[in-house]
Structure 1
Amino acid sequence: MESFKNINKNRGLQYLIGIGSILFISFICYLFIDIIGYHVVALLLLLVVSILAMFFKILPVVVAAVLSALIWNFLFIQPQLTFKISTPEDALLFLMYFVIAVMNAVFTTKIRKAEAASRKRKEREKTIQLYNTLFNSLSHELKTPIAAIIGSVDTLKESRKKLSADNKSELYNEIEIAGNRLNRQVKNLLNMSRLESDSIHLQLNWYDVNEIVYNVIENNKLDCNQHQILYQPEDNLPLFLFDATLVEQILHNIVHNAIQYTPKGSKIEIKVSHNSEDCVFEISDNGKGFPEENKERVFEKFYRLPNSATGGTGLGLSIAQGFAEAHNGKIKVRNRSNGGAQFTVTIPAKMTDPKNYQNE
């Protein structure tokens, strides 16, 4: 792919390849002229010109087209090894070939340019749409916690003596929740930036997954006071070799998504298992699940289900998918038969018994 990009930028190389292709095909045809006939040679040379026109700029293709016409006349049309054409039919055939070859080169190149312009326009429109979506999401996601922090601070400053200890504690709690919300959005933007710039470098080490899951539960405590997170630790799990920060972020985003979009009182259950090659996490809830027609879109950037509650940028699951893929892993989602959704995160990882960790 990289070599093709270099060829596409180097016009001199395009001339060389174009002329070389015509000469090579002409030489092969010349060896078998008694078998295939000069009409077939014309078709083969036109095919080469058409293929060149699909990839190269217009001038190298026109040069190849003109050269193919001249070679066809000189080597294949009777009398051979001369530019003289003996019959009116061959003269007309040559003229038609010349016109068709040049027109084919010009029109195919122009079509490619039009398609490239159309692609750029669509990409620009898509980028503008994504920026608008991001701006609309962030305007709400940032404005709400900032307003909560400013309001709580103003109340504490103006009514400090009148507030009871419980009131102050409640305001401090609101500031903490709003600060965590802001921090989460900034983290999401930074993580998405890392994914799009392909600057994810795994920091591999041996980790206890129970500890990672406990961190996820702890970090979601403030948001899940009306939900229940269930986890039964597995004492016999091995240590896994992966990037714990990214794996924790994957689980955090999925759990937070469940907290945000399931009804109050819902249960979120986390399970961990493994096979010979993978560490497997299952995060399930007893909410409403996903509409089947929208299920495959949940990992798209900025995508939010229709009629979903306000809040959220639609980045969390996309980032989770990106971090899983950075480990050569994957995330699958399905609706449970008894209601709710289940995310299965599969992370390929080496593993070792904790007793043998000292020897690793």
Structure 2
Amino acid sequence: MYSAIYKRSNQYLISGLLIVAATLISQLSINHIGYQGVALIYLLVVSISAMLFDIFPVLISALVSATLLNFLFIKPLYTFKIISTEDALMFFMYLILALVNTVLTYKIRDYNSKKRDEEEKTKTIDLYNILLNSLSHELRTPIATIIGSIDTIQDQQAKLAETHKQELYNEISIASSRLNRQVENLLNMSRLEAGILKPSFDWFDINESIFNVLKQNQEHAANHHLVFTPQKNLDLVWTDGGFLETILQNLIYNALQHTPQHTTILIEVRLEGQFLEIRVSDNGIGFPKDSIPFAFDKFYKLNNQTTGGTGLGLSIAKGFTEALAGTISLENKKTGGALFTVKIPSKTLAIKDFQHE
């Protein structure tokens, strides 16, 4: 893992510098620690290198340190001769320990790296299996509705009453909207993962943006109460309007999908210092406490969740918020229900002032 951070040439250089540093420290302290202590210092340096670098720079580091130990610290000094049997044994023990330590540390690190890769791969496969299972329902259902309605209209056009035809057209419209929403979520998630989100800032009417999102959700809000009071002092906001609507769309649609019928969903917007704050709350049952930390995770769905969805909406809202350098949080209200708070660095301008610019 760490070796990928350093280029091979840099690994050799850093290993060499560590050996030089160890040598200087050993020279200064040789009278106190003896060459046995020097051997331990070199062994520590080799161990550190083994944890950070590829095996070849570390092997060279082990061999160079052994050579320096012999040449500079084992008597007779400045020669490669070893007279004492004890010194010779010490030297070869150091060399063997350094080499074994190098290989074992590298092997353990390599094993852990492969194990992490396998776990990550397994986790990714599991996540995408969840996505595919969700999509098998989320995409198949509206497609089946559209095909079934069109077949009914075509086969029984002469027999169908006008009101029945209109009902079928409405079903096609709702199913198409649902299908389009899922495709948009997949495209947005692809953009987030690819890191190609680039906001285009301009002055946007925040009230108009919110009303646009509410209009898009009218069909889904038939059994809910959407409440929003426009803020007169927040006419224009310096932000990316498309990003902002995507955030709102996913938060509001999430609330509509996962709250009981007749729930009130409240949208509030205000300027807090240099931040635009948007709050989307409801008076439903809220989130289980142990689920709140994972609510924005990709593909995450509550265990007791009975409604559809791919588990992408909240993670997309979080991704687009962060693309605007903002933050998003979730908490349960004391009075019941969930509260999402989005804070985005921004500035505002009244329309009358904008007209004079």
Q: TM-score, normalised by structure 2?
A: 0.95
CA–CA separation in structure 1 for the residues paired with 2:256 and 2:107: 53
Structure 1 counterpart of 2:6? 7
User: How many residue pairs were aligned?
Assistant: 357
Deviations 1:28-84 (A, max 9, x none): 432453355323322221111111111211122111101101101110112211122
CA–CA separation in structure 2 for the residues paired with 1:118 and 1:325: 31
For 1:7, what is the secondary structure of its paired residue?
A: coil
Structure 2 counterpart of 1:176? 173
CA–CA separation in structure 2 for the residues paired with 1:308 and 1:180: 22
70, 73, 91: which one pairs with 2:70?
A: 73
Mapping for residues 28-43 of structure 1, pairs under 5 Å: 28-43=25-40
CA–CA separation in structure 1 for the residues paired with 2:52 and 2:155: 70
Structure 1 counterpart of 2:239? 242
Mapping for residues 130-209 of structure 1, pairs under 5 Å: 130-209=127-206
CA–CA separation in structure 2 for the residues paired with 1:238 and 1:186: 31
Structure 2 counterpart of 1:64? 61
Q: Percent identity?
A: 49
CA–CA separation in structure 2 for the residues paired with 1:128 and 1:327: 30
Structure 2 counterpart of 1:90? 87
222, 236, 260: which one pairs with 1:263?
A: 260
CA–CA separation in structure 2 for the residues paired with 1:338 and 1:25: 64
Unmatched segments (≥5 aa) in structure 1: none
Structure 2 counterpart of 1:116? 113
8 Å Cα contact 2:234/2:348 also seen in 1: no
Counterpart of 1:178 in structure 2: which amino acid? A
Mapping for residues 229-308 of structure 1, pairs under 5 Å: 229-308=226-305
For 1:274, what is the secondary structure of its paired residue?
A: strand
8 Å Cα contact 2:3/2:52 also seen in 1: no
Structure 1 counterpart of 2:341? 344
Unmatched segments (≥5 aa) in structure 2: none
Counterpart of 1:141 in structure 2: which amino acid? E
- TM-aligned CA deviation for residue 192 of structure 1: 0.2
CA–CA separation in structure 2 for the residues paired with 1:52 and 1:88: 30
8 Å Cα contact 2:3/2:53 also seen in 1: no
- TM-aligned CA deviation for residue 123 of structure 1: 1.1
Structure 2 counterpart of 1:335? 332
Deviations 1:111-170 (A, max 9, x none): 111011101101110111011111100000011001110111011111212222211111
CA–CA separation in structure 1 for the residues paired with 2:86 and 2:51: 31
Aligned CA distance change for structure 1 residues 26 and 273 (closer, same or farther; 3 Å): same
CA–CA separation in structure 1 for the residues paired with 2:114 and 2:190: 26
Counterpart of 2:62 in structure 1: which amino acid? A
The 10-residue stretch of structure 1 (214-223 or 34-43) with the greater mean CA deviation from structure 2: 34-43
CA–CA separation in structure 2 for the residues paired with 1:80 and 1:238: 83
Structure 2 counterpart of 1:316? 313
CA–CA separation in structure 1 for the residues paired with 2:226 and 2:242: 20
CA–CA separation in structure 1 for the residues paired with 2:29 and 2:257: 73
Counterpart of 1:311 in structure 2: which amino acid? G
CA–CA separation in structure 2 for the residues paired with 1:73 and 1:350: 69
Counterpart of 2:220 in structure 1: which amino acid? D
CA–CA separation in structure 2 for the residues paired with 1:341 and 1:165: 42
The 10-residue stretch of structure 1 (199-208 or 79-88) with the greater mean CA deviation from structure 2: 79-88
CA–CA separation in structure 2 for the residues paired with 1:139 and 1:290: 26
Deviations 1:297-329 (A, max 9, x none): 111111110121131000000000000011111
For 1:279, what is the secondary structure of its paired residue?
A: strand
- TM-aligned CA deviation for residue 89 of structure 1: 2.4
- TM-aligned CA deviation for residue 238 of structure 1: 4.7
- TM-aligned CA deviation for residue 264 of structure 1: 1.0
RMSD: 1.8
- TM-aligned CA deviation for residue 18 of structure 1: 2.4
216, 220, 223: which one pairs with 1:219?
A: 216
Matching of residue 325 in structure 1 with residue 322 in structure 2: yes
8 Å Cα contact 2:258/2:307 also seen in 1: no
CA–CA separation in structure 2 for the residues paired with 1:246 and 1:343: 17
For 1:342, what is the secondary structure of its paired residue?
A: strand
For 1:50, what is the secondary structure of its paired residue?
A: helix
CA–CA separation in structure 2 for the residues paired with 1:56 and 1:62: 10
Deviations 1:88-130 (A, max 9, x none): 3222221211111111111111111101110110111011101
CA–CA separation in structure 2 for the residues paired with 1:209 and 1:202: 16
Aligned CA distance change for structure 1 residues 209 and 7 (closer, same or farther; 3 Å): same
77, 96, 101: which one pairs with 1:99?
A: 96
Structure 2 counterpart of 1:55? 52
